[in-house]
Amino acid sequence: MLNVLAYLAELVRPGVVDRFAMVGARVVAVDGTTYSGDGAYLVLGPVRTEGVAGGEWERLLTGTFLHVSPFEGVFGILHITLNMVALWHLGRVVELMLGRVRFVVLYLLSALGGSVLVLVLADPGQATVGASGAVFGVGAAYYVLHRRLGARMAQVNRSMVLLLLWLVVSAWFGSSWQGHLGGLLTGGVAALAFAYGRRPAVRAGACLGLLALLAVTAAARVAELTGGSVPL
């Protein structure tokens, strides 16, 4: 629902994407020209840093609720459509298996994991949007939970093959494979905690540990981009 509401907001105010998309670091000159935050440039006049490295930590999550604008062509509509169809197909099953609260935790951790890997591996000045990282995390949980329950795996395996093909094909066409892979790995780890943790405290501890790992990784990358400082 938040993804759809965010998309409607994009239609009304396209500037929402520029403000809340996942951006690692970009330098903005006084004339509005932007530069990637990991390069060396001769810029006259004052500059400011935007993105996560500029203290806009919320972009790690807000970008995962945005999608390519429909004004940018057919892919803009396909982007959110494919993500929402995949989320409906996988998410409704995983939510029934986990319950609403644990599903939300899984979804948000997967989304965050995707953004953190984008921050670490992708061009820091490139804006990234989309729920795909979270969808891949939900897909990983779909597989892990069915394995844990000893379910018949034929249909589950087919779904996973399609998901992995999506990862490869979308990377070929220039989509954020870093976000997809980060979401897949994070969702898989969170799902393992939910599936095999014997007590609620163990499951909660595993999720908090995963969150801490993502936070430390993001902070380390920001320190690298800024030359040692981590803005709060």
- Asked if 145 contacts 96 with a C-beta cutoff of 8 angstroms, the reply is no
Give the neighbor-by-neighbor strand order of the sheet with 34-36: 34-36, 26-29, 47-50
Domain range annotation of the chain: 2-226
Q: Give, in degrees to the nearest 5, the angle at Cα 166 between 162 and 168.
A: 120
Q: Looking at per-residue confidence, does 2 or 220 come out higher? A: 220
Is the confidence at residue 181, as pLDDT, over 90?
Answer: yes
| pLDDT at residue 48 in the model | 66
Q: How far apart are CA 125 and CA 46, in angstroms?
A: 18
- Asked if 190 contacts 136 with a C-beta cutoff of 8 angstroms, the reply is no
Is the confidence at residue 67, as pLDDT, over 80?
Answer: yes
| pLDDT at residue 46 in the model | 56
Per cent of the chain over pLDDT 70 is 90
**Looking at residues 12-23, what average pLDDT do you find?**
89
Q: How far apart are CA 157 and CA 145, in angstroms?
A: 12
What's the fold here for domain 2-226?
Rhomboid-like fold (1.20.1540)
Which residues form the catalytic set?
Answer: 132, 180
Residue range 201-213, pLDDT digits in tens: 999 999 999 999 9
Mean pLDDT of the chain: 88
Residue range 29-66, pLDDT digits in tens: 655 556 555 554 434 445 567 899 999 999 999 999 99
pLDDT tier, 78 (very low <50, low <70, confident <90, very high otherwise): confident
SS (H, E, C) 30-83: CCCCEEECCCCCCCCCCEEEECHHHCCCCHHHHHHHCCCCHHHCHHHHHHHHHH
Q: Looking at per-residue confidence, does 69 or 74 come out higher? A: 69
Q: How far is CA 157 from CA 96, 140, 141, 143, 176, in A?
A: 19, 11, 13, 8, 24
Residue range 135-166, pLDDT digits in tens: 999 999 999 999 999 888 898 999 999 999 99
Is the confidence at residue 7, as pLDDT, over 70?
Answer: yes
Q: What is the CA radius of gyration of the chain?
A: 18
Q: How far apart are CA 149 and CA 86, in angstroms?
A: 22
